[in-house]
Structure 1
Amino acid sequence: MKVVVAGAGRLGTQIAQVLGAAHNEVTLVDQDDDRAAALLGHVPAEVRVGDACEPAVLEGAGAHSADLVVATTGEDEDNLVISLLAKRQFRVARVIARVNDDENAWLFTPHWGVDTAVPAAAPLISLIEEATSATDTVALLRLSRAGVSVIETVITDQSRAVGHTLAELAVPPGIVVAAVVRDGDPKAPSPGFELREGDVVLVVSHAATESEVHAAFQ
């Protein structure tokens, strides 16, 4: 997934850290030269200097081919402009914006290009969950000391796994299907468990990548 994060404050930087660590292609944009310089080499993302409210800056950051734009600046006006440009000019499929002032929340609608508005009071995990829902396979958690990742993949009507049991799938070695969430109810699947559209599969792996899990289920 290709992601542009506008605003390299604490929130934007953490989003870039999480999505970059999950092997997404992330570009982090901020107009503060010193802040951007301090982040170079310290986040798994390309760091660019510029005002993301300017179309040329967004284009240079890759908005024309981005799957997701996340506007996390400290100014609601900027987040709205960035969202509108991303959606209307660059046709970005998914745009998420942080609302700094609750009184402005009514503006953060599809009319301004915002697919999902996240209130300032919402915890960081809420914004991460919104961002990662833009893809059907994503690493949710990396336990670096154990070398283990928890990877989520969502079964859609186009998934090759629909109607097949776990035993029938060519699951890569080194992964374990830990749970399948169906209609909000987590289940511990057996090899004969048949997957359906809408199932959320949680995989624990010490070797397989997101792309390998995606290939097995999607």
Structure 2
Amino acid sequence: MKVLIAGAGRLGTQIAQVLCAARNDVTLIEHDENRFAELQGMPSVHLVAGDACEPALLAGAGAPSCDLVVAATGQDEDNLVISLLAKRQFGVGRVAARVNDEENAWLFDPQWGVDVAVPAATPLISLIEEATGATDTVALLRLSKAGVEVIETAITEQSRASGHLLGEITLPAGTVVATVVRDGHPTVPRPEVRLLPGDELLLVSHEATEQEIHAVFQ
């Protein structure tokens, strides 16, 4: 499946990581130069710098041939514009949009090109299931067809991994860290990253169980 995600905040980046783990073709658009620089080196994701509300940029990023567009910016007005362009101008088959302000939820309907309206508080698992419309392959993030499991774990003050460099952590076989989310911002998981209380990790594994991964960090 070819996917375009507008907005590389925490939500957009996590969606990109998970869908890449399921071997989808994912493009991630971000307009903030500093945020874009932080994401350089993200594996398997095509990064595009610019404003996703611009039709020319969406076209250049591959919107006309996408199966799914996810508008995941922090601005409802931007998400509506992106959705409308994706559906009306580029004929994208499925468009999902994040609703940041509940008072604006009534706007997120097919008239604006939105097939799936997702409240900001929706868990990542449910969001991806609804957005892709493929609960058989993505349910609970157990990507069985790809033989991949995506697991989230959080670092607390009591965690054994707290204070350690990521490179010092011995992971189970067949497991990699996809991203480290700190203060709401996902970062590239470099070995020199020191894990701190409050950090959230997204890991991808095709061998280890959730319990085995939690045991390493907790």
> In the aligned structure 1, how far is the partner of 2:78 from the partner of 2:174?
39
Structure 1 counterpart of 2:32, which letter? D
Query: 140, 148, 169: which one pairs with 2:142?
Result: 140
Rounded Cα–Cα distance in structure 2 between residues aligned with 1:110 and 1:50: 26
Residues 118-177 of structure 1 show CA distances to partners (whole Å, capped at 9, x for unaligned) of 0112112111111332587557342484659xxxxxxxxxxxxxxxxxxxxxxxxxxxxx
Kept after mapping to 2: 8 A contact 1:16/1:43: no
Give the letter for the 2:67 counterpart.
Answer: D
Indicate the residue corresponding to 2:41 in structure 1.
Answer: 41
Amino acid in the other structure paired with 1:61: A
Counterparts of 1:140 and 1:53, CA distance in 2: 33
Letter in 1 for 2:130: E
Q: In structure 2, what residue type is equivalent to 1:37?
A: A
| Alignment-derived partner of residue 128 in structure 1 | 128
Alignment of 1:25-174 (within 5 A): 25-134=25-134, 137=137, 140-141=142-143, 142-143=148-149, 145=172, 147=174
Matched, 1:17 2:17: yes
Letter in 1 for 2:25: E
Asked if the contact 1:5/1:27 (under 8 Å) is kept, the reply is yes
Q: Is the 8 A contact 2:28 2:47 kept in 1?
A: yes
**Deviating more after overlay: 57-66 vs 116-125:** 116-125
Larger gyration radius, structure 1 or structure 2: 1
Distance (whole Å) between structure 2 residues aligned to residue 90 and residue 136 of structure 1: 27
Normalised to the residue count of structure 2, the TM-score between the two structures is 0.64
Contact 2:28 2:48 in 1 (8 A): yes
Q: What is the distance in 1 between the residues matched to 2:56 and 2:85?
A: 10
How many aligned residue pairs are there? 150
Change in 2 beyond 3 A, CA 1:57/1:24: same
Measured after TM superposition, the shift of residue 33 of structure 1 is 1.4
| Partner SS, residue 40 of structure 1 | coil
* Equivalent pair of 2:68/2:132 in contact (CA under 8 Å): no
Aligned counterparts of 1:21 and 1:66: Cα–Cα separation in 2 = 18
Q: Distance in 1 between matches of 2:88 and 2:134?
A: 18
Q: Give the counterpart letter for 1:44 in structure 2.
A: S
What is the percent sequence identity of the aligned residues? 70
Q: Which has the higher helix share?
A: 2
Please identify, of 77-86 and 137-146, the stretch whose mean Cα deviation from structure 2 is larger.
137-146
Shift of 1:57: 0.8
Deviations 1:16-37 (A, max 9, x none): 0000111100000010112112
State the match for 2:202 in structure 1: none
Contact in 2 for aligned 1:68/1:134 (Cα 8 Å): no
Moved more, 128-137 or 110-119: 128-137
What is the aligned partner in structure 2 of residue 169 from structure 1?
none
Superposition RMSD in Å: 2.1
Question: Partners of 1:8 and 1:16 in 2: how far apart?
Answer: 9
Distance 1:143 1:61, change over 3 A: same
Gaps of 5+ in 2: 151-171, 176-205, 208-218
